[in-house]
């Protein structure tokens, strides 16, 4: 009979959250056979079935419900203990992992980390660019210490959110477009033109949809030419005359300064959005706690030139 291990409990909670062994395996980046072994080891230890296999996946049993509460507390206490032990070190060093959406990864994180490392040069960072929702899911799976994103959508109660920047959504067109002569536009002005859209997990897309709903416009009313995976891809497509789009003003004004697109403010609706640094609701290792406190006082200022 095997002893309980932290990774077994983490696997158990991941299966419970996804109601699936295969999805848990993908999230944890291990084989489905390893997931099955972890669950079987726990069931052998407790001598109880933890999941019932159903046609739709797996369903937690009464014994599993009891273990879930205990597992969450055990993992939390383990993380807290590790953080407190780390805090007795006098020299701050280590690696901090951040998953970040396009805008934050390209335009905010470099300056933030640069300023932080002037004070703590021994702390290194690993940054992975992902869409906002994918980044938040990665943080939930403990694949990073922090996420830097442009939306809270669906995760409002899961994490602590800290404002690290303010952004505006603006319309962009190729420089010779019909709308390029406008000093400002309404959302209704964009309905007659082909539109370049970000993918479904993009924070920018989620904010655009919210903005459309506020103005009683459905996404189906937009003539979407195609979807792309990054803001830079949107800007490239727009600069080549393939359509118009709505993007972050931070990225848009840099593109305008480079002569790629024309930036047009949108009127008649709320276009401001907040950019966040996000952390789990538990203690982190000392370098991460110090970084979080640094983020509290950080004020992003765009250095982009405006035409």
* Domains 94-165+273-296 and 167-272 in one fold: yes
Domain ranges for the chain: 6-86, 94-165+273-296, 167-272
User: 19 in helix, strand or coil?
Assistant: coil
Report d(CA 232, CA 1) in Å as an integer: 54
- Please say if the pLDDT value at position 243 is more than 60: yes
Q: What is the pLDDT of residue 90?
A: 56
Q: Does domain 167-272 have CATH number 3.40.190.10?
A: yes
Q: How confident is the model at residue 304 (pLDDT cuts 50, 70, 90)?
A: very low
pLDDT tens sequence across 170-210: 999 999 999 999 999 999 988 899 999 998 888 888 888 88
Report d(CA 56, CA 156) in Å as an integer: 27
User: 190 in helix, strand or coil?
Assistant: helix
Q: What is the pLDDT of residue 302?
A: 56
Report d(CA 182, CA 178) in Å as an integer: 8
In this prediction, residues 22-43 reach a mean pLDDT of: 93
129 Cβ contact partners less than 8 Å away, ≥ 6 residues apart = 99, 100, 101, 102, 105, 106
Average confidence score pLDDT of the chain: 89
Assigned CATH topology for domain 94-165+273-296: D-Maltodextrin-Binding Protein; domain 2 (3.40.190)
pLDDT tens sequence across 86-108: 666 556 788 999 999 988 998 89
Assigned CATH topology for domain 6-86: Arc Repressor Mutant, subunit A (1.10.10)
Q: What is the pLDDT of residue 305?
A: 40
Other CB atoms within 10 A of residue 234 CB: 31
* CA distances (Å), origin 47, targets 2, 20, 42, 57, 67: 12, 21, 8, 22, 12
Q: How confident is the model at residue 80 (pLDDT cuts 50, 70, 90)?
A: confident
Angle at 123 between CA 120 and CA 126, to 5 degrees: 135
pTM over 0.75: no
- Please say if the pLDDT value at position 252 is more than 80: yes
Report d(CA 12, CA 282) in Å as an integer: 19
Which of these ranges, 8-12, 62-66, 170-174, 188-192, has the smallest mean pLDDT?
A: 188-192
The two three-digit tokens of residue 285, written as one number: 């290792």
- Please say if the pLDDT value at position 306 is more than 50: no
Q: What is the pLDDT of residue 298?
A: 83
Q: What is the pLDDT of residue 1?
A: 54
Q: What is the pLDDT of residue 307?
A: 39
pLDDT tens sequence across 122-141: 999 999 999 899 999 999 88
Q: How confident is the model at residue 153 (pLDDT cuts 50, 70, 90)?
A: confident
């Amino acid at each position: 009979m095997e002893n309980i291990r932290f990774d077994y409990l983490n696997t158990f909670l991941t299966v419970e959250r996804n109601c699936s062994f295969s999805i848990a395996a993908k999230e944890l980046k291990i084989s489905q056979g390893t997931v099955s072994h972890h669950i079987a080891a726990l069931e052998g230890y407790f001598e109880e079935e933890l999941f019932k296999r159903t046609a739709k996946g797996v369903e937690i049993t009464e014994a599993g419900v009891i273990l879930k509460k205990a597992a969450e507390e055990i993992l939390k206490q383990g993380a807290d203990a590790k953080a407190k032990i780390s805090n007795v070190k006098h020299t701050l060093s280590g690696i901090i992992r951040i998953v970040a959406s396009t805008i934050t990864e390209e335009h905010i994180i470099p300056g933030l980390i640069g300023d932080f490392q002037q004070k703590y040069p021994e702390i290194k960072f690993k940054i992975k660019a992902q869409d906002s929702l994918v980044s938040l899911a990665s943080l939930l799976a403990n694949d990073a210490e922090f996420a830097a994103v442009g939306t809270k959508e669906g995760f409002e109660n899961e994490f602590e959110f800290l404002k690290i920047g303010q952004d505006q959504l603006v319309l962009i067109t190729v420089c010779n477009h019909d709308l390029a002569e406008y000093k400002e536009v309404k959302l209704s002005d964009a309905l007659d033109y082909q539109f370049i859209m970000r993918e479904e997990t993009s924070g920018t897309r989620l904010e655009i949809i919210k903005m459309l709903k506020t103005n009683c416009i459905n996404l189906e009313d937009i003539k979407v030419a195609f979807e792309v995976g990054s803001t830079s891809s949107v800007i490239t497509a727009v600069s080549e005359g393939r359509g118009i789009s709505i993007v972050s003003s931070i990225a848009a004004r840099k593109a305008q300064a480079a002569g790629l697109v024309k930036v047009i403010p949108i009127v008649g609706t709320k276009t401001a959005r907040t950019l966040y640094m996000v952390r789990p609701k538990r203690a982190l290792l000392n370098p991460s706690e110090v970084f979080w406190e640094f983020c509290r006082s950080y004020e992003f200022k765009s250095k982009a030139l405006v035409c």
